[in-house]
Structure 1
Amino acid sequence: MDIPSLTAFLTVAESNSFSLAAEKLHLTQPAVSKRIATLESQLDTQLFDRIGRQINLNEAGRILLPKARQMLELMKDSRQQINNLKTQVKGPLAMATSHHIGLRRLPGILREYSRRYPEVKLDIRFVDSEVAYDMLSRGEIELGIVTLSPDNPDRFQSHRVWHDPLIFMAAKDHPLAGLKKVSTQQLSEHQAILPSSNTFTYQLVRKLFEEEGLSLQTAMSSNYLETIRMLAAIGLAWTILPASMLDDDLVALKTQCHTPSRNLGYITHRERTLSNAASAFLDLLNQQAD
């Protein structure tokens, strides 16, 4: 089984389409079909059920899928180790980060990194922190600069760079803004604007309310913290945001409950060798640790 055929197989399986796979691989559709046919000939079995224009993995294809991923990742890691024998910091560096970290924490680091290592081709994906974990698991990125998961999976290494305290906030004319102390019960009686329910931040807040047997009234959600901030600032609901986002148009609510906090940092995969480019970037990040 050759690498091009396995790559074509994996791309078709993930796309459920020969034409989409061809676009992603920058090949013609007949070229992709030929690579799949070659692989099926080598294995002496079909890997996809083709019904009209629909294609789906059959049982043989589902068995091969995780093995194909492992083989391609092993080849990628072997190539990386060989490349690391060289001392140059150059080549591609794929990373993922959240919009909040990218806007508020990384500009200076990226500027300095690009100045020091102009031959590195940065590929930065702006995604939710939770998505970055999935991308790292699939080998799509080398590292993620994210909100760290409270329960770090064993296959990942995580390192805290910044402590990111959170603050309950509301507009100055919000009913809660004038109270000397705000209880969790009072928070639960008013609508909130929070990140979506699958985010680490939402899970921290939900846990706080569940511990007191209270429910959250969520008016709406957004994973863009700047959007949440704007909606809270015009008085639609209270929210919880990093302390660094508090400004004159919002007030900090003096809550009686414990305010959750989160850690920001980077994640890497334990079983993958970092490129020189990634290692150099982490060296700069570690210098920023608080």
Structure 2
Amino acid sequence: MDTANLTAFLAVAKSGSFSQAAEALHLTQPAVSKRIAALEQQLATRLFDRIGRHVSLTEAGRALLPRATLVLQTLDDTRRALSNLSSQVQGRLVLGTSHHIGLHRLPPVLRRYTSTYPDVALDIRFLDSEVAYDQVLHGDIELAVITLAPTLDEPVVARHIWDDPLDFVVSPEHPLADSGSVTLRQLGEYPAVFPGPSTFTHRVVSRLFQREGVTPQISMTTNYLETIKMMVSIGLAWSVLPRTMVDEQVKPVAVSNGEISRQLGCIWHSGRTLSNAGRALVELLQTDG
């Protein structure tokens, strides 16, 4: 079975579109259609239903999907295992990371990495930590440097690299700005802007309030920390931010029983052989991170 045809099948299944799959694979749409047709002919079954511009998997396509994914992942893993025998650190490394970590934590590490291993082609994908976690879990990327989940699914291996303290922050004009210390219950009386409900950071902060039996007044949510900082700075709400982002635009507030931190680190799939390039980056993170 031609792996190029399987790759095209997975791209169409993922995007639900022949044109988007062609764009992702850097092919023409007719070339993708030809590969799907060849695969359908080889398997003697239709894999996609095409109604107008809508494309959906048939029952046979749904049955093939996990098997095709496993075949391609096994081939990739075999290539990495054989390549690792050379002990050379080279090739392409697909790395997922959040915007915050990519801006505030990774630059010095990546600077040394690219200097030490010039033959590695880094493919850095900026993703929400939760999306990067999911892509590692499903084998779409080799490594991710992210906010670590409070709990991990068993196939995922994590290495803690940084502690990331979080500060409660308000605008300099906020009623609580000049308070010596406040309680979570006092904070709960004012509007808050939180990271999105699906984020690991949201879970960390929410657990603190649940532990104290306080329900915060969450008026807005967003996954972008810079947006949260802007909304806090103009007095719309209070929030929590990594200490590395706190400056004169916002004012930290001491909260009794409110010390909070998240862990940042790297993750990979336990069932996937790390490339020499991936292993070298993990080692560098653990020594220089």
**The TM-score by the shorter chain falls in which range?**
over 0.9
Q: Does 1:52 align with 2:52?
A: yes
Give the equivalent residue in structure 1 for 2:87. Answer: 87
Q: Does 1:134 align with 2:134?
A: yes
Give the equivalent residue in structure 1 for 2:280. Answer: 280
Which residue identity is paired with 2:193?
I
- Kept in 2, the 8 Å contact 1:96–1:141? The answer is yes
Q: Does 1:254 align with 2:221?
A: no
The answer for unaligned runs of 5 or more in structure 1 is: none
- Percent identical residues: 52
User: Cα offset for 1:179?
Assistant: 2.1
Give the equivalent residue in structure 2 for 1:195. Answer: 195
The alignment's TM-score, normalised by the length of structure 1, stands at 0.94
Q: How many angstroms apart in 2 are the aligned matches of 1:249 and 1:217?
A: 22
Identify which range, 131-140 or 160-169, moves more after superposition.
Answer: 131-140
User: Cα offset for 1:155?
Assistant: 0.9
Give the equivalent residue in structure 2 for 1:9. Answer: 9
Give the equivalent residue in structure 2 for 1:108. Answer: 108
Q: Does 1:270 align with 2:270?
A: yes
Q: How many angstroms apart in 2 are the aligned matches of 1:281 and 1:65?
A: 31
SS of 1:287 mapped into structure 2:
helix
Identify which range, 237-246 or 93-102, moves more after superposition.
Answer: 237-246
Q: How many angstroms apart in 2 are the aligned matches of 1:94 and 1:121?
A: 9
User: Cα offset for 1:29?
Assistant: 2.2
User: Cα offset for 1:90?
Assistant: 1.4
Please list, as runs of the form range in 1=range in 2, the aligned pairs for 1:1-290 lying within 5 A after superposition.
Answer: 1-289=1-289
Q: How many angstroms apart in 2 are the aligned matches of 1:168 and 1:85?
A: 49
Q: How many angstroms apart in 1 are the aligned matches of 2:10 and 2:43?
A: 15
- What is the number of residues matched between the two proteins? 289
- Kept in 1, the 8 Å contact 2:4–2:35? The answer is yes
Q: How many angstroms apart in 2 are the aligned matches of 1:42 and 1:35?
A: 11
Query: Runs in 1 of length 4+ with deviation above 6 angstroms?
Result: none
CA RMSD of aligned residues (A): 1.5
Identify which range, 188-197 or 217-226, moves more after superposition.
Answer: 217-226
Which residue identity is paired with 1:47?
L
Task: Please give the per-residue CA displacement for 1:166-216, whole angstroms capped at 9, x wherever unaligned.
Answer: 111112221112223311111111111221111111111112222333322
The answer for unaligned runs of 5 or more in structure 2 is: none
